[in-house]
C-alpha cells in the first residue's frame, strides 16, 4: 500500500511539475478547558522533489506560516481553524528534518508541526471581568448544573475544505482528532467516527474522523468535576477573599478587632475556670 502511494506521488509530480506534494494532514484538538479554549497540534506531511529540498531547509528558522504556504503552494498548509471565530495565540511552526531521502530520485519527506492555542473572544466589563463573546470559540459552553459543563462544537470554527452544500470534507489524507477531558460523557456525535460503535451517551476519550463528509457535524459532551475539586475551590476562594480584606484599606483595623475579640473570649473563659476552682 505504501509503495502504491509512493508511485502515485511520483506520477502526480510528473504531471504537475510541482516540487511539493501534500502527503497527509492531522489536526488534533486537545487540552480542552472549562471556558472552551483548547490546544491545537497540526502535522502537515510533505513529499519533497528536487529543488523543494533546498527550499524546505531554508525555512527552518521561519515561524511564519505564510512563508510555508507560499513556497509549497499547497492550500492545506495553513491553520485549520477559522480566525473569524477563534482567537489564536502562542503560535509556532516546527519544521522537522527531512527523512526517507532518495538521492538518486532527489526526493525526501518533510513535516511541518503547528502548535497554537485557540480561545473565544472576550469583552471586558466595567468591573474588569472578562466575559466570552457568544458565538466565538471552538465550543459553546454551558454550565447547566452544578459541577457539570456541557460543550457543543461549532463547525464554523473549523477550516477544512467544504462541499457545495457547506459540509466539511475530509479527504483520505486528512485526519481530524479530538482528545476529550477526563470524566467526559459524550452525548451526541454526528457522524460517528468509524471506530465508535458505543451507544450514546458513553464515556469516550478520543475521537477521529477521516475520509468522510461531516454532514450536520455535531459533537456534544459534558464534563462533571469531582466533588473534591468543588470543595477545594470553595476554600481557596474563601481564603482569597479573607486575604484581600486583610490586605485592604481597613485590613489592619479589622485584624486588630478580631484579635481583641479572640483575646477577650479567651480571657473570659480562663477567668471562669479560675473562679470555678
Q: Is residue 229 part of a domain?
A: no
Q: Is residue 204 part of a domain?
A: yes
Same domain, yes or no: 265 and 130:
no
Q: Is residue 233 part of a domain?
A: no
Q: Is residue 235 part of a domain?
A: no
Same domain, yes or no: 211 and 158:
yes
Q: CA-to-CA distance for 244 and 221, rounded, in angstroms?
A: 37
Same domain, yes or no: 24 and 152:
yes
Structural domain including 245 reads 240-276
Same domain, yes or no: 149 and 259:
no
Same domain, yes or no: 254 and 211:
no
Interval 194-241: pLDDT, tens: 899 889 999 999 999 999 999 999 999 999 987 555 545 444 454 555
Interval 124-141: pLDDT, tens: 888 888 888 999 999 999
**Would you call the peptide bond into 37 cis, given omega within 30 degrees of 0 as the criterion?**
no
Q: Is residue 77 part of a domain?
A: yes
Q: Is residue 203 part of a domain?
A: yes
Q: Among residues 49, 57, 51, which one has the least CA distance to residue 12?
A: 49
Same domain, yes or no: 23 and 142:
yes
Same domain, yes or no: 103 and 58:
yes
The count of structural domains within the chain is 2
Q: Is residue 230 part of a domain?
A: no
Same domain, yes or no: 75 and 123:
yes
pLDDT of residue 13: 46
Give the angle 253-258-263 at the CA atoms, nearest 5°: 125
Same domain, yes or no: 34 and 96:
yes
Residue 140, number of CB atoms within 10 A of its CB: 18
Q: What is the pLDDT along the chain (277 residues), one digit of tens a residue?
A: 554 455 555 555 443 445 999 999 999 999 999 999 999 999 999 999 999 999 999 999 988 999 999 999 999 999 999 999 999 999 999 999 999 999 999 999 999 999 999 999 999 888 888 888 999 999 999 998 888 999 999 999 999 999 999 999 999 999 999 999 988 999 999 999 989 988 999 999 999 999 999 999 999 999 998 755 554 544 445 455 556 665 766 666 776 777 788 877 777 777 777 776 6
For 47, 62, 205, 267, the CA distances from 209, given in Å and listed in that order, are: 23, 31, 14, 72
Same domain, yes or no: 140 and 253:
no
pTM: 0.78
What are the cell numbers at 84? 473569524
Give the angle 225-157-168 at the CA atoms, nearest 5°: 115
What are the cell numbers at 261? 475579640
Q: Is residue 234 part of a domain?
A: no
Same domain, yes or no: 47 and 109:
yes
pLDDT of residue 274: 73
Amino acid at each position: 500500500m505504501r509503495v502504491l502511494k509512493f508511485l502515485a506521488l511520483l506520477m502526480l509530480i510528473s504531471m504537475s511539475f510541482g516540487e511539493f506534494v501534500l502527503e497527509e494532514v492531522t489536526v488534533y484538538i486537545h487540552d480542552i478547558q472549562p471556558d472552551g479554549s483548547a490546544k491545537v497540534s497540526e502535522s502537515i506531511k510533505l513529499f519533497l522533489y528536487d529543488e523543494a529540498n533546498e527550499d524546505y531547509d531554508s525555512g527552518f528558522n521561519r515561524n511564519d506560516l505564510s512563508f510555508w504556504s507560499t513556497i509549497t503552494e499547497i492550500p492545506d498548509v495553513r491553520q485549520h481553524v477559522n480566525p473569524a471565530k477563534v482567537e489564536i495565540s502562542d503560535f509556532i511552526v516546527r519544521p522537522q528534518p527531512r527523512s526517507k531521502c532518495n538521492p538518486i530520485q532527489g526526493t525526501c519527506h518533510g513535516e511541518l508541526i503547528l502548535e497554537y492555542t485557540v480561545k473565544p473572544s472576550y469583552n471586558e466589563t466595567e468591573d474588569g471581568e472578562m466575559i466570552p463573546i457568544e458565538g466565538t470559540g471552538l465550543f459553546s459552553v454551558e454550565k447547566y448544573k452544578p459541577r457539570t459543563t456541557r460543550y457543543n462544537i461549532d463547525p464554523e470554527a473549523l477550516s477544512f475544505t467544504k462541499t457545495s452544500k457547506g459540509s466539511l470534507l475530509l479527504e483520505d489524507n486528512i485526519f481530524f482528532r479530538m482528545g476529550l477531558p477526563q470524566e467526559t460523557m459524550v452525548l451526541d456525535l454526528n457522524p460517528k467516527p468509524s471506530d465508535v460503535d458505543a451507544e450514546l451517551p458513553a464515556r469516550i476519550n478520543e475521537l477521529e474522523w477521516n475520509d468522510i463528509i461531516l454532514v450536520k457535524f455535531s459533537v456534544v459532551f459534558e464534563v462533571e468535576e469531582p466533588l473534591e475539586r468543588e470543595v477545594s475551590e470553595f476554600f481557596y476562594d474563601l481564603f482569597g477573599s479573607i486575604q484581600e480584606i486583610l490586605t485592604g484599606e481597613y485590613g489592619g483595623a479589622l485584624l486588630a478587632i478580631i484579635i481583641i475579640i479572640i483575646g477577650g473570649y479567651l480571657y473570659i473563659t480562663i477567668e471562669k475556670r479560675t473562679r470555678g476552682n
